[in-house]
Structure formats: structure tokens, C-alpha cells
């Protein structure tokens, strides 16, 4: 079921496999573009048509009464768990705000004033798959702490029903504008109907493609690529095999496109892991999804030494990394390309998805090489403010004129000259 790649001699085979996975042909371009253009032109009428077509949904904007009625059905135990997760996620993300709102003010010797201000994005649309209240918390809490004034929620119905846990989490966050909509049409609606400044939140391949097509043109999106879930597990001959198996399966059940990777120097555990996975899949409710994921993207990577372990992990740049070895400290500070690290035998990645406090919206598909997981900075803009003095423009203007004329931008030069006394 799971592919085995031996990287002892070189990692070219691994690199080629990762490259082929990340450059799969996207067959959703035209479908998504059609939806976007239709909603751009026909607005609510088009949105309603797509919701009826894909979800048999006739109700888009949810009233407060409708939300409250749904919440009443929620198990108190689930409410309590959401409250607990909320408190820990809020506490951790609140610490990120320290120093972030401080503005930089600098006066040079010519009395020119240079400022660098931090301001929150004004409006954000959060997309939450229909059954994931934890994702709502992960996306909305940093936005709220950052100072975003308007947060709008889009969440699709599952089997024709709203998820009361998602709505409870939304109410707890003070989100009043809630829409029952999903897919590419929800992202297009955020852009052309609700007209938010930025859209965040995970979704299926159609949601991801819609965000890609609209990003930088109409709306902003996350600076990372948040695609199908990924996990790498680093294990040795002392690792509890059952922990390896359960961690791998926990991610495989997310999505058929999820990727689960075991990295080890110990060949003896491979058969035990493969046998254990086959066994646990028999009783897993999401067996079909997990099986597809493991057949398509599952890997066991054999390495020869610690240096190669580090090279392989940094090349993969996984979303999640479990370092399930006794001496994890010799690895974690040498790993630079990863979304989140879970150290030691008692730190399953799954708990970080819910109640640890760190964010579970993380970079995938190798994008941890250049981006971070969701954080307060995602909702803060930086603005430069310049106030030149009469003396200041005289002193710094001439070299600016020289550079603009060198670049053949003579209008720039004229604009500067018009502010200078010699003209």
C-alpha cells in the first residue's frame, strides 16, 4: 500500500516523487473560472443557483434566530471542549501581539520624518468546512486579536444540515454575519458580493483554486499554501510502533490527497508499521479516504544517518513533523522547513489540531520553505509614511534625481526638481 523509498545513496527518487505530486495537472481551472465570472456578473442570483445545484441549499444568509436554534441542539460536552480550545488558542495568539502594533518613527539629521505603522486589515472572510469548529477558532482568533473590524463566515451544509458546533464557535467569536455556502462559489461571493479584503481558511480543491485565481487581483489570501494535510513521522527502533501507525492514519483520514510519511533508519519496523496500518484501516470509519491517501501519497523513507534525516525533512518541508525519538533535541533546531514540530513521545500532532493553542492552519506542499503558519501578522498591514522637510528634499533630492535619470524615468526627476528651491 505505502511506497518505500531508500534514500541511503541519494534523495533524487524522493525529490522526483514530491515534484510530480506538487505539479499535478489542475483540471479545475475552467470550472472554477466559470463560477467566478458568473458570480462576478450575476452576483446573488448566480450564487443561489450554484448552492441549489451543488448542495440543494436555498438559504444563504443565516439569521440570529436560525443560528441560536441550531446551537441549542449541540451537546454540552462539545460546547465545553470548544470553550477550552478557545481559551488556549486565544492565550497563545495574544502573546504574538507584543510589539506588533508599535510604530517606528525616525527623524534624520535633515528633519525628515519616516514612519512605519501597523494597521489591521478591515474585513476578512473565513471559509470553514462544514464540520470543523476548531478551524473556525484557528482562523478567527488571530484575526480578532489583530483588530480586524469585520469578520464574515462561510460554511457549507453537510447533508443539508448546518453544523451547530461551527455556529457555536462563531457566536463565541462574536461573528454575526454568517453565510451557508461552500465551494468555489463561496470564495467568489466573498470577493464580489460581501467584498471582503482577505479570505482565509482551508477547503477542497475547488476552494483552493478559487482562492488562487482571485488572490492578488480582487482579494488577498493566506501568504502560505494551505492544501491537503501532511505529516512526517521520524521514528527509531525505540519508538512505539502503535504511535507511528496512529499518527500516520490520523492524517490520512483527512483527505484522499493527504500525505503521510515515515522516516527511519530502522528497517525492522517497516513491516510492523505496514501490517498495523492495514489492521487499523479495517475499523476506521473514514477507511476509504485514508486508504486512497496512503496508496496515492504514503511513503516510508529509509535513511542512513542523522545528516540525511535532516536533509530529507528539509527537502520535504512538511506541514507537520513528529519527532518521535528519545533524543529529539538533536534534531528540532536544525530543521528549518516545516510548519509545526511536535517533539517527543507524548506529543501527537492531533492534539495540536485542537487544544494545545498553536495554530493548525499551516503551509503545505513544500511552502514551509518560504512561509509560516497562520498568525497575527496575517491580519496586519504595514504602512510607510514619509514627511520631508524643505531642507530634507534639498539634501536627498539630488541623488534621487541622478538615479531616476539613470533609469530613464525623467518624469520622476521633474517631480523632485519641482520641490527644490534651485528650480
- In whole angstroms, how large is the CA radius of gyration of the chain? 25
Answer for the pair 258, 294: CB distance below 8 angstroms, yes or no.
no
Quickly count: other Cβ atoms within 10 Å of residue 56's Cβ. Answer: 10
Nearest-angstrom CA–CA distance, 248 and 344: 16
Task: Kindly provide the b/e burial profile for residues 373-406, where b requires at least 16 CB atoms within 10 angstroms of the residue's own CB.
Answer: bbbbebbbeeeeeeebeeebbeeebeeebeebee
Listed in sequence order, the residues at least 6 apart from 2 whose beta carbon sits closer than 8 Å to its beta carbon are: 260, 262, 274, 277, 294, 295, 298, 299, 300
> Cell for 302?
529509509
List residues with catalytic annotation.
319-320
DSSP assignment, residue 215?
Answer: B
What is the C-alpha separation between 64 and 72, in angstroms, rounded? 12
Q: What is the dihedral of CA 315, 326, 275, 250, to 10 degrees?
A: -70
Smallest CA-to-CA distance from 359 within 180, 145, 99, 76 is with: 145
8 Å CB contact between 148 and 174? no
C-alpha span between 221 and 408 (Å, rounded)? 35
Distance of alpha carbon 224 from alpha carbon 218, whole angstroms = 18
Grid cell locating 348: 501527537
Q: How far is CA 412 from CA 270, 372, 397, in A?
A: 66, 37, 11
Helix (H) or strand (E) holding 119: strand 113-120
What span, in angstroms and rounded, lies between the C-alpha atoms of 170 and 137?
8
Residues, the chain, total? 423
Distance of CA 356 to the CA centre of its chain: 17
Amino acid at each position: 500500500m505505502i511506497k518505500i523509498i531508500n534514500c541511503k545513496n541519494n534523495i533524487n527518487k524522493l525529490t522526483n516523487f514530491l515534484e510530480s505530486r506538487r505539479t499535478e495537472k489542475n483540471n479545475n481551472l475552467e470550472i472554477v473560472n466559470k463560477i467566478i465570472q458568473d458570480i462576478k456578473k450575476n452576483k446573488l442570483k448566480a450564487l443561489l443557483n450554484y448552492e441549489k445545484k451543488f448542495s440543494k441549499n436555498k438559504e444563504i444568509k443565516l439569521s440570529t434566530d436560525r443560528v441560536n436554534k441550531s446551537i441549542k441542539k449541540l451537546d454540552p460536552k462539545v460546547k465545553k471542549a470548544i470553550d477550552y480550545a478557545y481559551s488556549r488558542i486565544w492565550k497563545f495568539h495574544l502573546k504574538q501581539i507584543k510589539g506588533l502594533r508599535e510604530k517606528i518613527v525616525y527623524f534624520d539629521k535633515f528633519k525628515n520624518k519616516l514612519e512605519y505603522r501597523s494597521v489591521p486589515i478591515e474585513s476578512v472572510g473565513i471559509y470553514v468546512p462544514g464540520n470543523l469548529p476548531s478551524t473556525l477558532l484557528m482562523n478567527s482568533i488571530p484575526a480578532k486579536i489583530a483588530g480586524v473590524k469585520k469578520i464574515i463566515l462561510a460554511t457549507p451544509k453537510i447533508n443539508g444540515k448546518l453544523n451547530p458546533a461551527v455556529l457555536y464557535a462563531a457566536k463565541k467569536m462574536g461573528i454575526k454575519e454568517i453565510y451557508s455556502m461552500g465551494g468555489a462559489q463561496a470564495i467568489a461571493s466573498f470577493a464580489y458580493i460581501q467584498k471582503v479584503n482577505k479570505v482565509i481558511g482551508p477547503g477542497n480543491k475547488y476552494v483552493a483554486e478559487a482562492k488562487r485565481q482571485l488572490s492578488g487581483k480582487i482579494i488577498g489570501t493566506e501568504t502560505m499554501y494551505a492544501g491537503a494535510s501532511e505529516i512526517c513521522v521520524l521514528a527509531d527502533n525505540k519508538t512505539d510502533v502503535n504511535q507511528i501507525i496512529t499518527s500516520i492514519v490520523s492524517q490520512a483520514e483527512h483527505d484522499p490527497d493527504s500525505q503521510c510519511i515515515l522516516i527511519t533508519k530502522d528497517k525492522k519496523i517497516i513491516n510492523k508499521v505496514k501490517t498495523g496500518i492495514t489492521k487499523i484501516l479495517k475499523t476506521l470509519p473514514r477507511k476509504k479516504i485514508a486508504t486512497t491517501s496512503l496508496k496515492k501519497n504514503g511513503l516510508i523513507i529509509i535513511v542512513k544517518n542523522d545528516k540525511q534525516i535532516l536533509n530529507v525533512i528539509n527537502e520535504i518541508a512538511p506541514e507537520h513533523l513528529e519527532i518521535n525519538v528519545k533524543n529529539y533535541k538533536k534534531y528540532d533546531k536544525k530543521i528549518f522547513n516545516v510548519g509545526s514540530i511536535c517533539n517527543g513521545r507524548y506529543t501527537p500532532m492531533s492534539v495540536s489540531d485542537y487544544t494545545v493553542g498553536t495554530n493548525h492552519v499551516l503551509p503545505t506542499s513544500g511552502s514551509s520553505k518560504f512561509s509560516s503558519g497562520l498568525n497575527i501578522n496575517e491580519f496586519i498591514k504595514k504602512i510607510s509614511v514619509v514627511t520631508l522637510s524643505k531642507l530634507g528634499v534639498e539634501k536627498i533630492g539630488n541623488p534621487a534625481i541622478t538615479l531616476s535619470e539613470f533609469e530613464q524615468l525623467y518624469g520622476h526627476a521633474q517631480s523632485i526638481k519641482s520641490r527644490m528651491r534651485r528650480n
